[in-house]
Structure 1
Amino acid sequence: MEQKGIIGGFYSEPEAAGEKENCVEKNQIFIQTAVKLAEELGSSAIILAGDFCFEDVNTNIPVYHAFSDQKELIDHLIYSYGGKGIRDFTDKMINQSYRKLEDFENIAAIEHVLGNISDGTVVGIIGSIDSCAIVVHDLKENEMVKKIRECEERVSSEVVRAVLTICFDVATKGREGKKVGTALIVGDVDEVMQRSHPLIINPYLGQTPEDSNILEEHNWESVKELAQLDGVFVISEEGRIHAAGRYLDVDARGINIDKGLGGRHVSAAAITRDTVAVAFTVSESGGVVRIYIDGKELICIDKPQRCIPA
């Protein structure tokens, strides 16, 4: 059974200096409580989503800060819904809380898949102007983690980790201020190459194994640069980049994906139906990362968020 819990409390936004000091003191008590809980559970990480000061707390558990757009749990909720009755406020609070819990779980899953957080439970401290909550999440029960593990039955976990790191960077940052969409087809290289043709001169033709290995971090910038071009990357199960700028010659009939997705996603899904490759795509319009296996969407990660060490 999934291990998940919430411990929370509300307090008004401080106005006077004394109230602010009291609020800071409450936050420190809250953090200390969360750290004690994490240590007793043997948690693998603590994630802070809010304006918390962690300087005076000692722990051997790795601590991360969520990015700013993950820091609002129920901000200004009381002020927006104060005149509509307690039921409207409560319903909105519950909906917002569940959404932010899902955000926290997705952040934890992403960092776990990328190798930054080990197996086990993760304790999250979520705070805003009006509320705080402590969340305990068991990564073994995380649906995103389970689905990405399916990719590792065909592709090594190290390659999945490297490809997803690049996809998340492209999805969240784009390239030189511009939104970028791309697709990386991993595995079953011979079949994928036979079912595609070059749109450009292959930039990886004649490259040394070291300079065409996606496991080498120094190659990631060139991959993100080439992601701006049309066509897909073709990568082996072991991480060797065989080509970039390839057009997939596939029959898209029978491929059922979300309406509104373009040819990149249709062809990526189709190539996984016709081969045993795994396709990773990034939507240019929305920065959404998708994974396709056997002609079907395995997982959709909407605007992936990362966290940074505290």
Structure 2
Amino acid sequence: MAEETMQAKNRAVLEGAVLVARETEAAAVLLAAAVPEAADFLRRELGRGHRVLAARTDAGRAPGDGEIVVLPQVRLRRRGRAKIALLEALAAGQLRPGERVVIISGNGGNGDGELDTVAVVDLVHEEELLDGEADAPLTTLAHATDPAAFDALLNLCVELGHEGREGKRVGLLATLGDHEAVLAHSHPIVLNPFEGHPEDERCILNAPARRALREFSGMDGAFVVREDGVVLAGGRYLEDVSPDAEVPSGLGARHRAAAGVTAATHCIA
């Protein structure tokens, strides 16, 4: 590890995080910042008593990397990077509902450079960090979907929100998992553009399907995706199922529809 090149401030933050992880008996430490030498420091100081997860945008692995959480290749603010890293780790089974996690993040649009924040997140009591709502069904992430499908869909949504389509910002409403219940709670408002195509051409793990979703992102209605990543339908109107809690201020009809169908079924929208 290139400790001699580590900034004094970063070292101080990491030493503080190690102390916090030990004192709070955290199960894991999540490094949500692009400071490569920091992960090595944490693994050495914490030993085998704590899992260390490092979030980064590069999916490539090298010997000794340990557990990594791959993030979308877009610039994210500190909170957004931490939230997506938590979701990815939960979906992949690297973190589990009920665990306590220490999150280390930094300033800058992509959380790189300087570390400045250490937060303790209890995944029993602080689900609002993820979606603004307490008592969110985090267990759904681990049981309702395939981690690779969740990762592919989340990445696509983040990229669309950041880059848009043809230079214009667009939104995308998609459900993942429990497709039979979702179809029962919805009806078509346009012809289904995915009907009749082979499943491998409709699987979001493959680039052609992701490109198709991007092209159809301006379509009214929701996309219904099976738990393994196969897109079953587009242009579905979701029934007005009221979510269990109020949708946070500033969010719109799509967010309310997503919250409602997630509450009414075992999908993730």
Normalised by the length of structure 2, the TM-score is 0.58
The answer on whether the counterparts of 2:140 and 2:267 sit within 8 Å (CA) in structure 1 is no
Q: Distance in 2 between matches of 1:163 and 1:44?
A: 21
> Deviation at 1:190?
2.1
| CA-to-aligned-CA distance 1:139-187 (integer Å, 9 cap, x gap) | 9979668976641222222221111111111111111111111211122
**Superposition map of 1:139-158 within 5 A:** 150-158=140-148
| CA-to-aligned-CA distance 1:252-296 (integer Å, 9 cap, x gap) | 3876212343222222222233322221xxxxxxxxxxxxxxxxx
**Superposition map of 1:233-272 within 5 A:** 233-252=223-242, 256-272=246-262
Is 2:65 the partner of 1:40?
Answer: no
> Deviation at 1:208?
0.2
Normalised by the length of structure 1, the TM-score is 0.51
Q: Aligned-pair RMSD on alpha carbons?
A: 4.6
Q: Distance in 2 between matches of 1:191 and 1:239?
A: 16
The answer on whether the counterparts of 1:170 and 1:224 sit within 8 Å (CA) in structure 2 is yes
**Superposition map of 1:66-85 within 5 A:** none
The answer on whether the counterparts of 1:105 and 1:137 sit within 8 Å (CA) in structure 2 is no
Q: Distance in 2 between matches of 1:60 and 1:174?
A: 36
**Bigger relative contact order, structure 1 or 2 (CA pairs below 8 A, ≥6 apart):** 1
Residues 236/160 of structure 1: CA separation in 2 closer, same or farther (3 Å cut): same
Q: Distance in 2 between matches of 1:246 and 1:229?
A: 10
Residues 155/107 of structure 1: CA separation in 2 closer, same or farther (3 Å cut): closer
Residues 46/263 of structure 1: CA separation in 2 closer, same or farther (3 Å cut): closer
1:24 maps to what in 2? none
Gaps of 5+ in 1: 10-30, 49-58, 71-99, 280-310
Residues 40/239 of structure 1: CA separation in 2 closer, same or farther (3 Å cut): same
Residues 121/243 of structure 1: CA separation in 2 closer, same or farther (3 Å cut): same
Q: Counting strand residues as a fraction of each chain, which structure ranks higher? A: 1
1:230 maps to what in 2? 220
Q: Distance in 1 between matches of 2:76 and 2:184?
A: 44
Percent identity, aligned pairs only, is 25
Gaps of 5+ in 2: 1-8, 14-34, 58-62, 96-100, 131-135
Look at both structures and tell me which one has the larger radius of gyration over its CA atoms: 1
| CA-to-aligned-CA distance 1:17-72 (integer Å, 9 cap, x gap) | xxxxxxxxxxxxxx897576256347554869xxxxxxxxxx964999997775xx
Q: Distance in 2 between matches of 1:255 and 1:139?
A: 21
SS in 1 for 2:235: strand
2:6 maps to what in 1? none
Q: Distance in 2 between matches of 1:267 and 1:103?
A: 22
Aligned length: 212
> Deviation at 1:205?
0.6
The answer on whether the counterparts of 1:38 and 1:122 sit within 8 Å (CA) in structure 2 is no
